[in-house]
Structure 1
Amino acid sequence: MADVKKIVQSGAMENVPVNRYRLLLPVLALLLLASHWFRQGDFGLAAALAGLAGLLFTRQAWLRPIVLAALLWGGYVWAQTVVDLITIRLVFDLPWMRLTGIMSGIILLDGLAMASLLGGGSEAWFDRDREWAWPRAAIFAITVVCLAVARNKVGFPILLADRYLPGWGWGEVFLLGFYGQWVGSHMRTPLGHRRYRPRIWGLFSALFFLQLGLGLLGADRMLMTGTLHLPVPAMIVAGPVFRGGGFFMLVLFGVTLILVGPAWCSHLCYIGAWDDAMSRLRARPFAPRASRGLSLWGRGATLLLTVGAAWGLRALGVPGVSAVLFGAAFGLIGVGMMLFFSRRRGMMVHCAEFCPIGLVGNLLGRVSPWRIRIGADCLQCGACVPRCRYGALDADRLAKGRPALSCTLCGDCVSACSDNQIGYAFPGLSPNNARTAFIVLAVSLHAVFLGVARI
């Protein structure tokens, strides 16, 4: 008897056919909306809506709010279409009553499809991964909205799909949104975060430099604007100082700091992934006490050096080509530090002790309310210390209840604590909810950057 009750409650066996029929209206409404955009020549958006309709049969719970939002937007599209068509027919003194009836039926269908998804039977159908349905839906929605805004506001094709396959930009937007929620589903736990963060970070860096390499080899559509900039993080600050303009990367960097604090350095920096990979060649990182001051003073010195050099080169009227050589030399020194120091010490020496933009991220990241906090009941077992490759944890920091300045919110320490004494903190949120919200923002930014971050 208990087994039968469990089967009925789970929505399996008896209830599945009924629930599947409930998808008829949402699928039909999405396909009609897809056909509308196909006729408008937006093949990518038509394919995205058709793909969304197909995904309904996977029973993933995160799809329910996304499809509801798509149908709500579809209702607006149909209403606007009715107004436009009636206006045109009135201008040319053409009959419009029949058109109004047909379009009203389509809008009614859209509304009935939404009502179908809001019903209890529909909820029983979308029974897979309910626990993380809203975070996954949020990642998908944030990614899609950000990319859509960037695509519409930038004066040139910012997405590769629009450059190589005109009319298919929305297809890329949809795929990046789907990819983002997939990544989020694998990073829901601290252990999953620790495992997948280096992988997706490395993927972003690889694609970033692959596009740059192809652009330099002649595939100029791979480049964002055709104007090359050095892919050296220090140039985010030094570049505008030398040029007296070109603040796009600086603004993007600042917005990222507001959203996720210094997590730029552990999730989004195209060079930082290299240092992370080098540091992982040694099993246990080791940060001698004598070198910890380099986190502030070492990076402070390189920050003054890069900004001062950029200002001096500009004041002296040094040609841009010569300035590029100086910047390239600085970048190569950083790569050398990864190879000879990060690899041997098992610590991200370049990022934690050399990179000036890392110091800027740590300092200005204090504007963001995100923090890593250590509970008062911490046993100070030290299990988290070797996990931190930024040298932000030691016995003193555990006693103080917070990591050092070099912390980038990477989250590796969180998975190391078996007593759940280390976690993300955000005002008004529990540690668990704070970590979930952080993952949503960080993964969404990663998916967006994957689409638009190019030289």
Structure 2
Amino acid sequence: MTKLQKMCDSAADASSEASSVSPMRAGWLTVPIVGLLVLAAHFLRFGDMWLAVAIVATAGLCLTRLGWARLVCSVALFVGSFLWVKTGIDFVQIRMAVGQPWMRLAVIMASICAFSLLGAWLLSTEKAAARFYKGSAIAISQAAVFVLTCGGLWLCRIMPKNMTLLLADRFLPGSGAVEIFGIAVYAAWLCGLLLNKKTQRKARSYAWAFFSFVFFGQLALGLLGFMVFLMTGSLHLPVPALIVAGPLFRGSGFFMLILFTVSVLLVGPAWCSHLCYIGAWDDRMGRVRKGKTGCLPVWAPRLRIVLAVIVFATALGMGLSGVSVIVAVWLAAILGLIGVASMLCLSRRMKMMVHCSAFCPLGVMSNLLGKISPWRLRFSDACTKCNACASVCRYNAITPERLELGKPAFSCSLCRDCTAVCRHGAAEVRFLGITSPKLTNLFVVLVTSLHAIFLGVARM
């Protein structure tokens, strides 16, 4: 009876808390919602219907209980207040230039700005925090991912002068704003999963596979004749090693290499475990069979380094000696097919990512450039050498010897699978040697934002 009574009391308390923040008593939400709707009406008036739709959808986030939604709406209203200031100044200057009355207009625009700021302030109060309680502990991280994804995709949308990067804009001109909103919501949701130890391993694997599916799905549609799904219509082989080997051979076309380098500097070798369109295949092959991962021979990681030197030196040599493009393409295709064969035959059998750990030349570059990045995986003194981390590492980076040294091997890709299974919290992602939950959150924010941005623009 005592246990039953406690359960009843707990249920009553939960019901009381829910009623205290019920929608019927949340009339204050009208202010931020109306503020966002007025902002949407402003863009609709000036002909940007799709941006207005995206802002209306943002206002819809106020009807959820998500902690990050509250912060996103607050930021939108705060940024919108600057728009009202600028618009008000422009309108007043026009009125003054033509000699018309402007004082009433200035008061109206100032009132709208104040209303927007009021909405932003209301969303920052404790009452708002109590209502938007879901995921409140990681709300800042999820909101940051939303904002970074929106900002990154918006820059990708407006910077190219002669190219439309977002697919939505290609089908319905102007609708890219809605696509950006949708991808940003997905990114915030994924960030929550990646920050939860219970879900981070599966979430990373499935999100990575989803990214690869979208990438190659668009390529397949393009090859079938739907050219709108291709980036420029000028195709190249989707072999990761060509990101480095291609510019070495051609002496030009450094965009992908620059993008790869910047990504690795931001998140270290996590490029290999979150952003590589081919690596997701190796990951799926390594998960076909259940059980502990295998262990590669000592010489296998060294072989990957040798292969990288051979591939990149060959590409440079062929470019300098004037070898035809057709020969280079055939050699690249053979390299790619050997890589796929290693996934199908070896990764499946050994339950680990053999292609990424012992073959991929670009993986070597990722690990090498990752040494410049401030992010590291380390094992603290709390490690009991239980080898739980080694049993899930698919990059051949964790062995008993590496645990004794307190750090993984060169092939570590910062996938963080080991941190999910470590019961003692000994496996840590560190920034410049410093570890804290906030820094771990920062790492996840960066890698999730890059994943979402790549999802929106990465096409052949």
- TM bucket, shorter chain: over 0.9
Q: Map 1:158-197 to 2 at 5 A.
A: 158-197=165-204
- Of stretches 154-163 and 171-180 in structure 1, the one that deviates more from structure 2 is 154-163
Contact 1:11/1:125 (CA < 8 Å) preserved in 2? Answer: no
- Corresponding residue of 2:3: none
Residues 167-224 of structure 1, C-alpha deviations (whole Å, 9 max, x = no match): 1111111111100011111222223111111100000000000111111222212111
- Corresponding residue of 1:104: 110
**Partner Cα separation in structure 2 for residue 22 and residue 8 of structure 1:** 22
2:51 to 41, 45, 49: 45
Contact 2:382/2:425 (CA < 8 Å) preserved in 1? Answer: no
1:28 to partner: Cα distance:
0.5
**Partner Cα separation in structure 2 for residue 242 and residue 10 of structure 1:** 68
- Corresponding residue of 2:133: 127
2:76 to 49, 70, 75: 70
Which amino acid in 1 is paired with 2:237?
A: L
Contact 2:71/2:124 (CA < 8 Å) preserved in 1? Answer: no
Which amino acid in 1 is paired with 2:353?
A: M
- Of stretches 18-27 and 345-354 in structure 1, the one that deviates more from structure 2 is 18-27
**Partner Cα separation in structure 2 for residue 141 and residue 426 of structure 1:** 22
1:61 to partner: Cα distance:
1.4
1:151 to partner: Cα distance:
1.4
1:236 to 233, 237, 243: 243
Contact 2:61/2:73 (CA < 8 Å) preserved in 1? Answer: no
Q: What CA RMSD, in Å, does the superposition of the two structures yield over aligned residues?
A: 2.1
**Partner Cα separation in structure 1 for residue 361 and residue 120 of structure 2:** 51
1:81 to partner: Cα distance:
1.3
| SS across alignment from 1:208 | helix
1:8 to partner: Cα distance:
9.7
1:30 aligns with 2:36: yes
Contact 2:61/2:70 (CA < 8 Å) preserved in 1? Answer: no
1:18 to partner: Cα distance:
6.9
Q: Map 1:235-384 to 2 at 5 A.
A: 235-283=242-290, 284-288=292-296, 291-295=297-301, 297-384=302-389
**Partner Cα separation in structure 2 for residue 351 and residue 344 of structure 1:** 15
**Partner Cα separation in structure 1 for residue 25 and residue 378 of structure 2:** 45
Which amino acid in 2 is paired with 1:210?
A: G
**Partner Cα separation in structure 2 for residue 182 and residue 220 of structure 1:** 31
Contact 1:7/1:13 (CA < 8 Å) preserved in 2? Answer: no
Contact 1:292/1:391 (CA < 8 Å) preserved in 2? Answer: no
After superposition, the Cα gap between the structure-2 partners of 1:236 and 1:8, relative to the gap in structure 1 and judged at 3 Å, is closer
**Partner Cα separation in structure 2 for residue 111 and residue 190 of structure 1:** 37
**Partner Cα separation in structure 2 for residue 405 and residue 293 of structure 1:** 13
Which amino acid in 2 is paired with 1:149?
A: L
1:427 to partner: Cα distance:
3.4
**Partner Cα separation in structure 2 for residue 104 and residue 377 of structure 1:** 57
1:397 aligns with 2:395: no
Which amino acid in 2 is paired with 1:452?
A: V
| SS across alignment from 1:321 | helix
1:278 to partner: Cα distance:
0.9
Which amino acid in 1 is paired with 2:359?
A: F
Contact 2:166/2:457 (CA < 8 Å) preserved in 1? Answer: yes
Contact 1:147/1:173 (CA < 8 Å) preserved in 2? Answer: yes
Could you tell me which runs of 5 or more consecutive residues in structure 2 were left unpaired when the two chains were aligned: 1-5
**Partner Cα separation in structure 2 for residue 443 and residue 216 of structure 1:** 29
Residues 381-432 of structure 1, C-alpha deviations (whole Å, 9 max, x = no match): 2222121111111111111111100100111112222222212122375343
| SS across alignment from 1:132 | helix
Give the TM-score, by structure 1 length.
Answer: 0.94
| SS across alignment from 2:191 | helix
1:203 aligns with 2:210: yes
After superposition, the Cα gap between the structure-2 partners of 1:437 and 1:115, relative to the gap in structure 1 and judged at 3 Å, is closer
| SS across alignment from 2:428 | strand
- State how many pairs are aligned: 451
**Partner Cα separation in structure 1 for residue 247 and residue 16 of structure 2:** 58
Residues 8-42 of structure 1, C-alpha deviations (whole Å, 9 max, x = no match): 99753245357511111101110010111122222
Q: State the identity as a percent.
A: 44
- Of stretches 322-331 and 347-356 in structure 1, the one that deviates more from structure 2 is 322-331
Which amino acid in 2 is paired with 1:87?
A: Q
After superposition, the Cα gap between the structure-2 partners of 1:154 and 1:432, relative to the gap in structure 1 and judged at 3 Å, is same
- Corresponding residue of 1:144: 150
1:437 aligns with 2:442: yes
- Corresponding residue of 1:215: 222
2:415 to 402, 410, 413: 410
**Partner Cα separation in structure 1 for residue 368 and residue 25 of structure 2:** 53
Which amino acid in 1 is paired with 2:306?
A: A
- Corresponding residue of 2:123: 117
Contact 1:11/1:124 (CA < 8 Å) preserved in 2? Answer: no
Which amino acid in 2 is paired with 1:357?
A: L
- Of stretches 320-329 and 264-273 in structure 1, the one that deviates more from structure 2 is 320-329
**Partner Cα separation in structure 2 for residue 118 and residue 29 of structure 1:** 15
- Of stretches 347-356 and 125-134 in structure 1, the one that deviates more from structure 2 is 125-134
**Partner Cα separation in structure 1 for residue 124 and residue 345 of structure 2:** 59
**Partner Cα separation in structure 2 for residue 380 and residue 349 of structure 1:** 24
1:300 to partner: Cα distance:
1.8
Residues 343-364 of structure 1, C-alpha deviations (whole Å, 9 max, x = no match): 1111211111111110111111
After superposition, the Cα gap between the structure-2 partners of 1:286 and 1:119, relative to the gap in structure 1 and judged at 3 Å, is closer
**Partner Cα separation in structure 2 for residue 15 and residue 377 of structure 1:** 42
Give the TM-score, by structure 2 length.
Answer: 0.93
Residues 42-97 of structure 1, C-alpha deviations (whole Å, 9 max, x = no match): 22221111111111111211122211211111111111112222333334444433
Contact 2:274/2:447 (CA < 8 Å) preserved in 1? Answer: yes
- Corresponding residue of 1:21: 27
1:421 aligns with 2:429: no
- Of stretches 95-104 and 279-288 in structure 1, the one that deviates more from structure 2 is 95-104
**Partner Cα separation in structure 2 for residue 346 and residue 381 of structure 1:** 20
**Partner Cα separation in structure 2 for residue 282 and residue 59 of structure 1:** 39
